[in-house]
Amino acid sequence: MLDKTKIKAAFSRHAVSYDQAAGLQIAVGLELISQIKLNQPPINILDIGMGTGFLARELCRRNRHFKLFGCDIAHGMNRYNLQSIKTPLPIYPVTADAERLCFRAQQMDMIISNLSYQWLNEIGQGLSEARRALKPGGRLILTSMGEQTLHELRDCFTQAYREQKGQEPAYTHRFINKAKLLELMEGVGFKQVRVESRIYLRLYQGLGELLDALKQLGALNASVDRPRGLSGKAIIKRTQQLYRQKYSQAGQLKAGYEVLFAGGKS
């Protein structure tokens, strides 16, 4: 289970620098937008986990008839949103939990979400709330990290931890897989569901740069059962040694991010 207090604090703390470090999120978000028909009449769109509001602002720039509502669990992100909107745009951010949306039933024509559902404790509950907020025939389009994300880091850290502690680590966060996301979406009533998987590869100079990038994105391991003080210097050093032995490319460390693109109608 994830500790939402830690998640809120982490994303709020890095709101100002988030977009500078969020190259992957922006690339994935632009791909998500490409799946939306922009020549539509005025519609209400909800952006779940809107972060700094990049997607919402981009959609409004492309079609001023869109009315964007955004929710994010991190109040710092919403505060940054309100301060960073320089020109009047129909964007209305609120602080809310995707598992308990504050919007009335059948209020939205479309819901989008970019790399946010992986931070929910109950993805099924979040999907159920999204369907409740959608009008009949409304569309949900989302992206989420898949189970193969950072498998290189997980593999090396698990081996290093096992060598040092003689047991498996209990606090490496696991992401959802393609089949399970499809099952959950259909289970809460979405129709015409499709889920696709894509791998994005990034290169880092070292383990420190990779961990710093994850920290800047607020993507810390927020498991509530995370033991404290166990990831000592010896484990980190051994993790980097294994990483360079197993997953290096031209002197850099490879890190793969599996992104699930999913969509369905209510």
Structure tokens at 114: 């970019």
Of 35, 181, 54, nearest in space to 110 by CA? 35
189: left (phi over 0), alpha (psi -120 to 50) or beta: left
> 139-149 burial, b for 16+ CB within 10 Å, e for fewer?
bbbbbbbbbbb
Phi, psi of 142 (to 5 degrees): -140, 160
CA–CA gap between residue 218 and residue 18 (Å, rounded): 8
CA–CA gap between residue 210 and residue 254 (Å, rounded): 9
Structure tokens at 15: 């709101």
CA–CA gap between residue 81 and residue 15 (Å, rounded): 9
CA–CA gap between residue 51 and residue 77 (Å, rounded): 5
The pLDDT score that the predictor gives to residue 259 is: 95
The full set of domains in the chain, from first to last, is 4-265 (3.40.50.150)
The pLDDT score that the predictor gives to residue 228 is: 46
CA–CA gap between residue 116 and residue 134 (Å, rounded): 18
The pLDDT score that the predictor gives to residue 111 is: 97
Of 180, 186, 173, nearest in space to 121 by CA? 173
The pLDDT score that the predictor gives to residue 91 is: 85
CA–CA gap between residue 65 and residue 54 (Å, rounded): 17
Decide the pairing of beta strands 252-265 and 248-249. Answer: antiparallel
How long, in residues, is the chain? 266
Per-residue tens of pLDDT for the chain, all 266 residues: 554 554 444 444 434 334 444 688 889 999 999 999 887 787 899 999 988 888 888 888 888 888 999 998 875 655 555 555 555 678 888 888 999 999 999 999 999 999 999 889 899 999 999 999 999 999 999 999 999 999 999 999 999 999 999 998 876 567 899 999 999 999 999 999 999 999 999 999 999 999 888 876 555 554 334 444 446 889 999 999 999 999 999 999 999 999 999 999 99
Tell me the pTM: 0.83
Give the alpha-carbon dihedral of 79, 259, 5, 99, to 10 degrees: 90
